[in-house]
Structure 1
């Protein structure tokens, strides 16, 4: 008996490591682009107005997010029809090739208008890949996790986003430290994209060794796969209702908090708050490091107290504290050289990370637990990527645009605050508790 348990634990660890590494590569590739948004402006979208260049760069990042639902529809449906594993092989290859190609692109001064066109095209390929990976990986890992401590065991997948941010941020910070400003602007920004070639090789090799989930193998043996999972999802009222709740509450709320705390804060500190780049990057790295144990803790808490109370609490806290947190960041940045100021800045970022952890910690398990096995991959990936792409991915662009329209560096933050408040109310009333659900059904 003990030998069987140990074997199962070793198998799950191997599956989890391989799945997580591939997802890390997806996030690393995807978020390196966001980290370099300020750099891409003058290189690919030259303009006399720096804000316009930044907006164009953020819009290109947003294009990849907008296309994610299409990738989710295609690859999520394939995951239900032909298996979870084959889809993973395609998505990681697509993401890796597109990312390496970004590092090889000539700039606007070299080929003119073709530079931004090619950049946007590669961003679209990244978005398609991310649509199949992010969400599908949650289903894959959860179906391998068993019923005991499922929230805790699957929460490790959520570390891949912060790790992707951390890896890209540290790389860029080191490059900017080692290289002159001219060297970094000329070729240094390409290095993170070149490195992804080696990561692609390791990720692809790890995924070849992956095993199909036992739940899908059982469906395959009994010929229970859906021939048209998307149509089946939209015809079933209960599934459609849960897809909406996943989209509007869990995934939109998590995406808003993720992009506010892990993406937009760095942009905000460097631009609106005028904090030195080195300090903004350092604070972001420290905050990301604290997010990791907090995410695992939140996954454990969802096993103990339930998925719903942990997620709903996060949404309410986000709605209440987003605006005050950024107001405090801006005010403190004006006197960052004063004693203890950086400690207070970091404390605010850690507080935001704790709120984010409470929604993403249980999220992996919750994505799979909401839906029946027959159409789980498509039902989970489409609303999740629709939320991440259209709500979270466009958030930096929308906030920047609203700030510009309302002539204030903080006015655009009312959008995520109000959205989180409405999501919290809807989730508290309608979101079902899924802890302990039998995933074979």
Structure 2
């Protein structure tokens, strides 16, 4: 077997293992988001439906808020002890927490203990995702062939849409075969319990992983960081780029993702009042469209650079969110909802999302030096995704309630995307295909 053929086989195994594990992370994480409207009455007092929905969305947001803690912990461990071990830990933690959600008693059964347990498991999910997402970007990029990192690593970004699609498809099928009472009683548990099968497959695939060649090289040179977080904060260039990652790339990507793929589902169900199965089906169509669009944008970033593709996504996202949701409200509340227009409007948000997600995986590791890369990527990315993007469904809903307008809250992602565009325009460097050994 030639060296190049051997390298190709290793790269394929890395892609399969990293992507499948990330798929499980997102499947677990987004199943919770998809069922947020049900959790409001299952785990919280049902006498005030609006308060119950806000509490459910807030619990989803808590999982995002603790992500930075997981990033700091697992990022430092990944820079000191290797990427492979951390992948195993994060996937086991995430999988077990998700299976336990499917076993929880409801508020009607045990009272306040139910939301307390749900909150605890949600926090465990957040911790594991904090270690997983940035680390997967680093691990996959460090194995990627030069000159094709954008396309090669964009596959990882498909795992979010794929996890959402699998989760949504399960829920649509369950809602089709079960009446509403059965689904609320026990049917909602099935997607969580099936995570046990996915967890077993993911653990097996990750046990076959090889350590990153960049990390092995650092270890051979005895150049590993002893205190990665401290080193990141002391290096001005690294700290500056962590700030850029927080305010620009990760903030923009997470805001568009949650606006386009999470909040749209909630909005169509609770504001537009579409049947749950129809709303989930429409969002799934836009999710499918993300697959080719993300790959194309990853490939494009290899050809023209990461910077122009990312800035295009930020600008288009800032311009599109408000009119898209206005259109969803208009065409969805007609006497006969116009499903064609609803679908087209959802597809509009696919464009800016693909422009961010396509080059994002490769861009994050390319911004930072090898010895502190895991920490430098994971911490600001999860801070931004958790504190800005993860809270956006709650903030949009809360602002809508405060101003008695279902659209008022959309100024939250719109204004922040404008800020991210300004930061990116002035400070985002071109880092396409820079040497990763540095």
TM-score range, shorter chain: over 0.9
Distance in 2, matches of 1:406 and 1:86, equals: 48
Match of 1:399 among 385, 396, 399: 396
Distance in 2, matches of 1:425 and 1:221, equals: 41
1:378 paired residue number: 375
Distance in 2, matches of 1:171 and 1:42, equals: 21
Can you list the C-alpha shifts for 1:383-431, whole angstroms capped at 9, x where unaligned?
A: 0000111011100000000001111000000111011011111101100
CA contact (8 A) 1:336 1:342 kept: no
CA contact (8 A) 1:402 1:412 kept: yes
Residue 229 (str. 1) matches residue 228 (str. 2): yes
RMSD: 1.0
CA contact (8 A) 1:12 1:145 kept: yes
1:154 paired residue number: 153
Unpaired runs of at least 5, structure 2: none
Distance in 2, matches of 1:372 and 1:25, equals: 29
Distance in 2, matches of 1:391 and 1:344, equals: 29
Within a 5 Å distance, the mapping from 1:32-111 to structure 2 comes to 32-111=31-110
Distance in 1, matches of 2:168 and 2:432, equals: 35
TM-score by length of 2: 0.99
Note the C-alpha offset of 1:278: 2.0
Note the C-alpha offset of 1:336: 6.8
2:25 paired residue number: 26
Unpaired runs of at least 5, structure 1: none
Greater displacement, 272-281 / 90-99 = 272-281
Note the C-alpha offset of 1:7: 2.5
CA contact (8 A) 2:253 2:353 kept: yes
Distance in 2, matches of 1:3 and 1:218, equals: 22
Match of 2:407 among 395, 410, 419: 410
TM-score by length of 1: 0.98
Q: Secondary structure at the match of 1:362?
A: helix
Can you list the C-alpha shifts for 1:119-155, whole angstroms capped at 9, x where unaligned?
A: 0000010000000001110000000103121100000
CA contact (8 A) 1:287 1:349 kept: yes
Paired residues in the alignment total 438
Distance in 2, matches of 1:187 and 1:279, equals: 21
Can you list the C-alpha shifts for 1:269-297, whole angstroms capped at 9, x where unaligned?
A: 11111122222111111110001110000
Q: Secondary structure at the match of 1:349?
A: helix
Distance in 1, matches of 2:366 and 2:151, equals: 14
2:427 paired residue number: 430
Q: Residues 336 and 198 (structure 1 numbering): CA distance in 2 closer, same or farther, change over 3 Å?
A: farther
1:166 paired residue number: 165
Note the C-alpha offset of 1:185: 0.5
Note the C-alpha offset of 1:47: 2.8
Distance in 2, matches of 1:107 and 1:185, equals: 10
Within a 5 Å distance, the mapping from 1:154-303 to structure 2 comes to 154-303=153-302
CA contact (8 A) 2:320 2:348 kept: no
Note the C-alpha offset of 1:46: 1.8
